[in-house]
Amino acid sequence: MNRYILVCLLASGLGLFSCKRSNLDMTALEEQEQAEDPTYGYNPENVLDFDLNKIKERGYFTAIVDNSSTGMFLYRGEPMGYEYELLSLFAERMGLELRFNITPSMGDGFRKLNSGQGDILAYNLSVTKERQEFMDFTDPHNFVRQVLVQRKPDNWRSLKLHEIEKTLIRNPIDLIGKEVHVRKGSAYTTRLKHLAEEVGGDILIVEEFDELETEALIEMVATGEIDYTVSDEDVALVNARYFPILDVRTAISFPQQIAWGVRKHSPQLLDTLNAWIGHMKRTNEYYALYDKYFKSTRKSKEMVESDFFSKNSERISPYDSLIKIGAEKLGWDWQLLAAQISKESRFDPRAESWVGARGLMQVMPRTANSYGIHNLYSPSLNIKAGVKHLLWLEDVWKEIDDPIEKSKFVLASYNVGQGHVQDAARLAKKYGTNPEQWEDVAKYLRLKAKKKYYMDPVVQFGYCRGDEPVDYVEDILYRYGRYLQMDKSAAVAADDQPIVE
């Protein structure tokens, strides 16, 4: 594993430490250190002045998160995560679109916040005096201790509890002379330095690149690559459910505040967030959400042990290979087709709707029969039938040149039937808007629920509850966007794109 390790020997009582660098190119090391240092290049005069009033005018806010079991991840095609769900609730309350900038490096996250590539820094972030110098913190979501993550003996299952206890560090004094690996730029380094002074001995602090997330270090402890790391207790407990060989019961700090960060000069956003957090803390929903990710042993274990948990796998579903074959025939990105299947059935091949649609793509038996397919509970045959129908709909909308626009018409037609979508296109043309632009057609598809429009002479298929197909398209595109954000191999230089337009 390529990583730069900086070992600091803390001098007891003097607050001094000496550093030893690995034999790497010094220029590269200095550049890396600058990249990881959240204060590097920080100038309060250069912080973007872009508060909530401007965010509302723009119509969306961007959250900077990491890909972790508490930040944002995919599970069976569904975006999930404690921070993700909290942010979604806030966006819904504000009536704003929510966008994400997935950033593993905390140093990069701080800089993106202050330069305007994000509006909220939503890591599992400890409030420290140093960080308060270059950003403001919301009121805390919760209070957690920092704990030592260590490994039980390999044969721990055959040992008695007191035998296991003898092998573990319970008194922080026993960390003297031990190597503890932590994420660079984290509050854990500062805490360990203070702890070394408190216990009156040297602790070997090994700082990893901050792209190496805390959860990756926890896994390295579990696999025996390193002996110790430090984590916030809530994150440590989640990971200990996946790696039962881990022990996370030794606290090395008092409870600390965990909060979101916002730019300086954003008092409106800060006040609004604080008011919303205060409101949420008075609801059962808030505590149910916390319990879901941090206290529900069964649910979290089921997720992290799944092959389709984004921290352990690049897969979205059990049927990715079949989806890729179907998407190739369509000429679509396979993740767009996966997003549609996720919407239709949540990847359940036995799913059946109240109207009789079946399987992964919720194909009606009569439609499948027209393509010579009869077993809709077979994943491969179901996807084959669904793709054949999508190809037929592609031909219906062949006059639309823009492939992105065409895919929206095709998806809506798959949901509600091409006749209703064609009616909406005719209405769009009659009322002077573009019948080949989905935004215009979607407006009239919604209006087909009103008598004035479904009784219009240009309409051939009558009443339609048009909200459903329009929301269907929006939800699929939303899922697709999340898949692209979570796909490391498809990550484009979106990180370098300014959020302010």
Give the total number of structural domains in the chain.
Answer: 3
Q: Is the pLDDT confidence value at 493 over 50? A: no
Domain co-membership, 411 together with 480? yes
Q: Which residues of 267-298 are buried (b: 16+ CB within 10 A; e: fewer)?
A: eebbebbeebbeebeeeeebeebbeebbebee
Q: What is the DSSP string of 196-221?
A: HHHHTS--EEEEEPTTS-HHHHHHHH
Torsion sign over Cα 305, 310, 315, 318: positive
> Rounded mean pLDDT of 404-419?
94
Does any domain span residue 103? yes
DSSP one-letter code for 499:
S
* CATH number for position 234: 3.40.190.10
Span 330-339, pLDDT tens digits: 999 999 999 9
- Mean pLDDT is lowest, of 124-128, 385-389, 470-474, for 124-128
Domain co-membership, 49 together with 110? yes
Q: Which residues of 97-133 are buried (b: 16+ CB within 10 A; e: fewer)?
A: ebbbbbbbbbbbbbbbbbbbbbbbbbbbbbbeeebee
Distance between CA 417 and CA 414 in Å, rounded? Answer: 6
Q: How open is the CA angle 394-398-400, to the nearest 5 degrees?
A: 110
Domain co-membership, 103 together with 225? no
Q: What is the DSSP string of 52-100?
A: HHHHHHHTEEEEEE-BSSSSBEEETTEEE-HHHHHHHHHHHHHT-EEEE
Domain co-membership, 286 together with 164? no
> In this predicted model, which residue has the larger pLDDT, 78 or 283?
283
The pLDDT of residue 269 is 96
Distance between CA 409 and CA 367 in Å, rounded? Answer: 19
Tally helices (H) and strands (E) across the chain: 21, 15
Full domain range(s) for residue 280: 44-143+258-304
Count the Cβ atoms, other than its own, within 10 Å of residue 69: 25
Contact criterion met (CB below 8 Å) for 459 and 423 = yes
Domain co-membership, 426 together with 333? yes
Q: Is the pLDDT confidence value at 79 over 80? A: no
DSSP one-letter code for 253:
S
Does any domain span residue 49? yes
Contact partners, residue 95, CB within 8 Å, separation at least 6? none
Neighbouring-strand partners of residue 101: 64
Domain co-membership, 474 together with 352? yes
Q: What is the DSSP string of 279-303?
A: HHTTSHHHHHHHHHHHT-HHHHHHH
Domain co-membership, 247 together with 383? no
The pLDDT of residue 494 is 41
Does any domain span residue 350? yes
- Asked which of 238, 271, 304 is the last residue of a domain, the reply is 304
Span 87-121, pLDDT tens digits: 999 999 999 999 988 887 788 888 899 889 999 99
Contact criterion met (CB below 8 Å) for 373 and 309 = no
The bridge status of strand 146-151 relative to strand 204-208 is unpaired
Distance between CA 325 and CA 380 in Å, rounded? Answer: 10
Q: What are phi and psi of 181, to 5 degrees?
A: -90, 130
Domain co-membership, 64 together with 30? no
Contact criterion met (CB below 8 Å) for 130 and 118 = no
Does any domain span residue 311? no
Domain co-membership, 279 together with 218? no
Does any domain span residue 150? yes
The pLDDT of residue 41 is 55
Does any domain span residue 92? yes
Secondary structure class of 18 (helix, strand, coil): strand
Count the Cβ atoms, other than its own, within 10 Å of residue 166: 9
Does any domain span residue 310? no
DSSP one-letter code for 17:
E
Does any domain span residue 129? yes
On the 0-12 / 13-18 / 19+ scale of CB atoms within 10 A, 72 is: buried
- Asked which of 304, 331, 365 is the last residue of a domain, the reply is 304
Distance between CA 63 and CA 100 in Å, rounded? Answer: 5
* pLDDT cut 90: percent of the chain above it: 56
The pTM for the full model equals 0.60
Q: Is the pLDDT confidence value at 19 over 90? A: no
Span 208-248, pLDDT tens digits: 876 677 888 998 899 898 999 999 998 898 888 878 999 99
Contact criterion met (CB below 8 Å) for 500 and 60 = no
* CATH number for position 458: 1.10.530.10
The pLDDT of residue 497 is 42
